């Protein structure tokens, strides 16, 4: 580590604050209580709050697509690495019958995700913990699947994180991911983006770097899907946000629309890519 390299704990705190900036400056708990009080109960909760708690391009539809690629099925034990407000983990429980543990750096996100799981009636199948997905404390061979959507680009030490996933997976367990990637030789991305204010806070890897890192951690690639065109189409068809609705701006603050615009622009201009992948544990 050089003298100018960020200390890991400082990076973790910066990531936490980045994602919950809106909570820091708004009366989010009161807004959330109003939202929860207006919700139904049971599985329909998942659909009612999808705009709020799916922190990734194409939202719930992308979660369903990744689940199909990973052949997710009933009874699977899943680690949701970087679970946010819990949209994907509740989807995996309500729609596919999984048992899910979500881990996130933000205590606020964990508390909110827990409340929403209770409202959705899945708290017996979904639970959340505060933690760092790069330093997992679960026992060996605890899960059938590690799940990650738009999280890995926040991790400095990708190989170390992948090794942690490998350790916690059972034999032939799978790692399913959906994430932005760097493109070899492309122009630099525009910042801020939803995951970083500036370039030195972003840890994008290229396709080749991801595969090499996964192989070093003991994984073999099973599936790789370019999701950029689907994202471009989704951005083009996206309806204007309802200013009265609770959405990602409520959580991440008023700068979120500019971040989202840069994300879309970066993909359209070929500055970054977007992929889904499934890797299988070897050994």
Q: Looking at the structure, give the CATH architecture of the domain made up of residues 8-281.
A: 3-Layer(aba) Sandwich (3.40)
Residue 191 has what pLDDT?
Answer: 96
Sheet with 219-226, side-by-side order of all strands: 126-130, 99-104, 77-81, 143-149, 169-182, 272-281, 219-226
Query: Would you say residue 238 has pLDDT above 80?
Result: no
CA dihedral 182, 185, 187, 188 (to 10 degrees): 40
Residue 112 has what pLDDT?
Answer: 83
For the chain, what are the domain ranges? Answer: 8-281
On the question of a cis peptide bond just before residue 192, with omega within 30 degrees of 0, the verdict is yes
Give the number of other Cβ atoms within 10 Å of residue 230's Cβ. Answer: 17
Strand 77-81 with 99-104, pairing:
parallel
Residue 283 has what pLDDT?
Answer: 75
Residue 2 has what pLDDT?
Answer: 37
Q: How confident is the model at residue 89 (pLDDT cuts 50, 70, 90)?
A: very high
Query: Would you say residue 46 has pLDDT above 60?
Result: no
Residue 32 has what pLDDT?
Answer: 64
Q: How confident is the model at residue 3 (pLDDT cuts 50, 70, 90)?
A: very low
- Tens-place pLDDT, residues 166-208: 999 999 999 999 999 999 999 999 999 989 989 999 999 999 9
Average pLDDT of the chain to the nearest whole number: 85
DSSP three-state, residue 259: helix
Where is pLDDT greater, at 264 or 108?
Answer: 264
Per-residue tokens: 16: 């936490």
What mean pLDDT do residues 92-102 have?
Answer: 96
Place of tokens 């539809």: 61
What mean pLDDT do residues 235-252 have?
Answer: 66
- Tens-place pLDDT, residues 121-131: 899 999 999 99
Place of tokens 């990708």: 158
Could you tell me the pTM of the whole model?
Answer: 0.86
Strand 99-104 with 126-130, pairing:
parallel
């Amino acid at each position: 580590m050089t003298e100018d390299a960020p200390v890991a704990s400082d990076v973790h705190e910066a990531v936490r604050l980045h994602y919950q900036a809106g909570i820091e400056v708004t009366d989010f708990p009161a807004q959330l209580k109003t939202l929860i009080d207006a919700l139904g109960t049971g599985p329909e909760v998942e659909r009612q709050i999808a705009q709020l708690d799916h922190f990734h391009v194409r939202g719930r539809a992308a979660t369903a697509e990744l689940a199909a690629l990973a052949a997710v099925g009933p009874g699977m034990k899943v680690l949701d690495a970087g679970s946010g407000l819990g949209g994907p983990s509740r989807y995996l429980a309500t729609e596919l019958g999984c048992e899910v543990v979500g881990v996130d750096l933000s205590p606020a996100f964990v508390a909110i995700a827990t409340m929403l799981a209770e409202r959705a009636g899945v708290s017996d199948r979904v639970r959340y913990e505060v933690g760092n997905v790069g330093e997992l404390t679960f026992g060996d061979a605890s899960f059938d699947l590690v799940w990650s959507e738009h999280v890995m680009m926040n991790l400095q030490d990708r190989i170390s994180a992948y090794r942690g996933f490998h350790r916690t997976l059972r034999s032939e367990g799978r790692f399913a991911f959906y994430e932005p990637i760097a493109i070899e030789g492309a122009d630099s991305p525009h910042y801020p983006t939803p995951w970083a204010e500036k370039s030195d806070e972003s840890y994008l890897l290229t396709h080749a770097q991801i595969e090499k890192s996964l192989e070093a951690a003991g994984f073999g690639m099973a599936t790789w899907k370019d999701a950029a065109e689907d994202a471009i189409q989704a951005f083009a068809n996206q309806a204007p946000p309802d200013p009265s609705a609770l959405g990602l701006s409520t959580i991440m603050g008023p700068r979120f629309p500019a971040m989202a615009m840069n994300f879309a622009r970066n993909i359209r201009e070929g500055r970054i890519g977007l992929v889904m992948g499934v890797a299988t544990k070897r050994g």
